[in-house]
Amino acid sequence: LGMQGPITQSEVRVRYAETDQMGIAHHTAYLVWCEVARTDYLRSQGIAYRDLEAAGLRLPVVHAELTYRAAARYDDVLVIRCWVSQAASRKVVFAYDISRPADQRLLATAQITLMAVDSQHAVTTLPAQVLGRLVVAGGRARR
Amino acid sequence: LGMQGPITQSEVRVRYAETDQMGIAHHTAYLVWCEVARTDYLRSQGIAYRDLEAAGLRLPVVHAELTYRAAARYDDVLVIRCWVSQAASRKVVFAYDISRPADQRLLATAQITLMAVDSQHAVTTLPAQVLGRLVVAGGRARR
Amino acid sequence: LGMQGPITQSEVRVRYAETDQMGIAHHTAYLVWCEVARTDYLRSQGIAYRDLEAAGLRLPVVHAELTYRAAARYDDVLVIRCWVSQAASRKVVFAYDISRPADQRLLATAQITLMAVDSQHAVTTLPAQVLGRLVVAGGRARR
Amino acid sequence: LGMQGPITQSEVRVRYAETDQMGIAHHTAYLVWCEVARTDYLRSQGIAYRDLEAAGLRLPVVHAELTYRAAARYDDVLVIRCWVSQAASRKVVFAYDISRPADQRLLATAQITLMAVDSQHAVTTLPAQVLGRLVVAGGRARR
């Protein structure tokens, strides 16, 4: 809806603990990497997720969709790009792609929806200031 | 496609290691529980996934979609129902719902697509015998 | 100290997600299984760990020692035996052995020390009632 | 034995998925961070662990001892120092300390023993070249 938030880039290296006996990164690891990227996205916008929680806000995942195109392997360096694809007062949808610079392959894409709840897990709304920062390019709202 | 495979039920108890600081089971845990249920499903149909791998077949996840409706908590007993919603020569889609008998709540639903690849991770086809067993109600193919 | 607590037995089946590319269960999984066994031990003594936390008590791990003798593999059924090897007002040491009934092999042993802290993570003492139950054979204190 | 290997430093940031409902990093995460540090140590000595595995060598963990002194929390930046404390033809012991630069606290120490096995998991010896590199300060053996 005319949102112009940034695209952030996060880097992870595949950990041995993340592999499975197929010799590839287990499919749950991609969700964890997306979560790492989401923390980085928020930080880039001047939002520390740990502060949101300290203020009583929780952002549990309510929907996740992942498409796996090629396998990540142990010790691979991966880049996760993250952006906000939709934002409303109670929900934010983050989109991701995960690629491997070494061979320029796109390994996976994901869309993950978070809902705002309070510390009792009742649905709430995102504070306007947080919502505003989520979708402002370059975090300029931080002025 | 007129498939009439069974619906299996698996039980897990939420582990402490599966919780996060929101006080609920982390969203990756649901994928692990679905994997547990999938192994049980295959076993109920007379298929040992470890034998498939020993025979050179791999079934990596190529797509996953999860909807989280209510939070699972530490020590909750959960039931995962699992069935095959689509099966073709190269792909199988498993569907799941995860509920908590204690309060009869549906916590999550999921659809997870597996693709058949060989030990070199090249796309292959499911052996006809495996495919047949996947969708036979009650595992009657085991005769 | 003349303690005569019970030895409990818990069963787990190795999950695919717990394997690594060596084709065996990753060494962190054993700590998770010990945690599962510890919850079962407490339950057998009439203690619900979730209730202890609700009452403000936390039992973080302060020391862990594991010896790995043979590898657990995907889909193996394992038995974890758990008992209290030492208990004092601020610390409890649980001991474990993990074996595979199918071939009667002992796979691992562990000793894990928990410390009592309050909800602010300050050291505290175990309530006498909890301490008493920890080491009573057969949970007879539950009368 | 007069070994003079280097001490490497690795950095991790605590992931949300690594926390538990106590609000701290779960005790298994420290083992994973040590594994990350070990990969970095080997790399610093000119050894790619993935190449060792490709050559048929495996280095499973046979013993682990961890002492937890203070809790790591979500989003904390941690530094893991890693060095070889003992090395022999079949076994290598890595030592670690994990600290948080922000408040200069030592959070944990660990000692983890790896054994050399072949691709059939039979005990073997470390190739002399690998053993030599493990304990040479600054990786000078790479000349």
Strand, helix or coil at D54?
helix
Q: Band the pLDDT of D134: cuts 50, 70, 90.
A: confident
pTM: 0.94
pLDDT at B143: 31
pLDDT at C118: 93
Average pLDDT over residues A93-122: 96
Query: How near does any CA of chain B get to the CA of D73, in Å?
Result: 9
The answer to whether C36 contacts B50, with C-beta atoms less than 8 Å apart, is no
pLDDT at B5: 85
Which pair of tokens denotes residue D117?
């096995």
Q: Specify the higher pLDDT residue, C35 or A142.
A: C35
Check pLDDT > 70 for residue C2: no
- A20 labelled catalytic: yes
Average pLDDT over residues B110-130: 93
- DSSP codes, D80-97: EEEEEEEE-SSEEEEEEE
pLDDT at B29: 98
Which pair of tokens denotes residue C36?
């599962």
Q: Band the pLDDT of B50: cuts 50, 70, 90.
A: confident
Q: What is the mean pLDDT of chain C?
A: 91
pLDDT per position as a tens digit, D15-58 = 999 999 999 999 999 999 999 999 999 999 999 998 899 889 99
What's the rounded Cα separation, in Å, for the pair B85 and B91? Answer: 11
pLDDT at D117: 96
pLDDT per position as a tens digit, A25-78 = 999 999 999 999 999 999 999 999 988 998 899 999 999 999 999 999 999 999
Residues of B in contact with D21 (CB under 8 A): 16, 19-24, 74
Check pLDDT > 50 for residue B42: yes
Lowest mean pLDDT among A12-21, B52-61, D61-70: B52-61
pLDDT at D4: 65
Q: Band the pLDDT of B94: cuts 50, 70, 90.
A: very high
**Ramachandran sector of residue A56 (left: φ over 0; alpha: ψ -120 to 50; beta: rest):** left
Check pLDDT > 60 for residue B2: no
Residues of A in contact with D31 (CB under 8 A): 17
Instruction: At A55, give phi and psi (nearest 5°).
Output: -85, 5
What's the rounded Cα separation, in Å, for the pair D82 and D85? Answer: 9
Check pLDDT > 90 for residue A95: yes
Check pLDDT > 90 for residue A4: no
**C99, burial (CB in 10 Å: exposed 0-12, middle 13-18, buried 19+):** buried
Check pLDDT > 50 for residue D106: yes
Average pLDDT over residues D121-131: 91
Check pLDDT > 70 for residue B9: yes
The answer to whether A31 contacts B31, with C-beta atoms less than 8 Å apart, is yes
- Of D31, D50, D75, which has the smallest distance from its Cβ to A39's Cβ? D75
Q: For residue B68, which of A60, D35, D77, A92 has the smallest C-alpha distance? A: A60
Q: What's the 3-state SS for A50-100?
A: HHHHHCCCECCEEEEEEEECCCCCCCCEEEEEEEEEEECCCEEEEEEEEEE
Q: Band the pLDDT of D1: cuts 50, 70, 90.
A: very low
Q: Specify the higher pLDDT residue, B142 or B69.
A: B69
Q: Band the pLDDT of C34: cuts 50, 70, 90.
A: very high
pLDDT at A72: 98
Check pLDDT > 80 for residue C27: yes
Q: Which residues pair with B61 in a beta bridge?
A: B114
The answer to whether C17 contacts A19, with C-beta atoms less than 8 Å apart, is no
Q: Does D36 touch chain A (CB under 8 A)?
A: yes
Lowest mean pLDDT among B24-33, C107-116, C118-127: C118-127
What's the rounded Cα separation, in Å, for the pair A51 and C86? Answer: 39
Q: Mutate which of A10, A11, A15 to disrupt the D interface (most D C-beta within 10 Å)?
A: A15
Residues of B in contact with A60 (CB under 8 A): 22, 24, 27, 68, 71
pLDDT per position as a tens digit, D59-90 = 999 999 999 999 999 999 999 999 999 999 99
For chain B, strand residue ranges (E) read: 8-13, 61-68, 77-87, 91-100, 105-115
**Cβ contacts of B77 within 8 Å, gap of 6 or more:** B11, B12, B13, B100, B101, B102
Q: For residue C133, which of C1, C24, C31, C3 has the smallest C-alpha distance? A: C3
List the Cα angle B114/B119/B122 in 5-degree steps.
65
List the Cα angle B2/B3/B8 in 5-degree steps.
150
Q: Which residues pair with B68 in a beta bridge?
A: B108
CA dihedral C94, C100, C103, C109 (to 10 degrees): -30
- DSSP codes, C19-75: B-TTSSB-HHHHHHHHHHHHHHHHHHTT--HHHHHHTT-B--EEEEEEEE-S---TT
Q: Which residues pair with B13 in a beta bridge?
A: B77
Residues of D in contact with C28 (CB under 8 A): 28, 31-32
Which pair of tokens denotes residue B138?
């009650």
Q: Does B49 touch chain D (CB under 8 A)?
A: no
Q: Does B26 touch chain D (CB under 8 A)?
A: yes
Q: Mutate which of C30, C75, C76, C121 to disrupt the B interface (most B C-beta within 10 Å)?
A: C75
What's the rounded Cα separation, in Å, for the pair A117 and A135? Answer: 20
Residues of A in contact with B71 (CB under 8 A): 60, 121
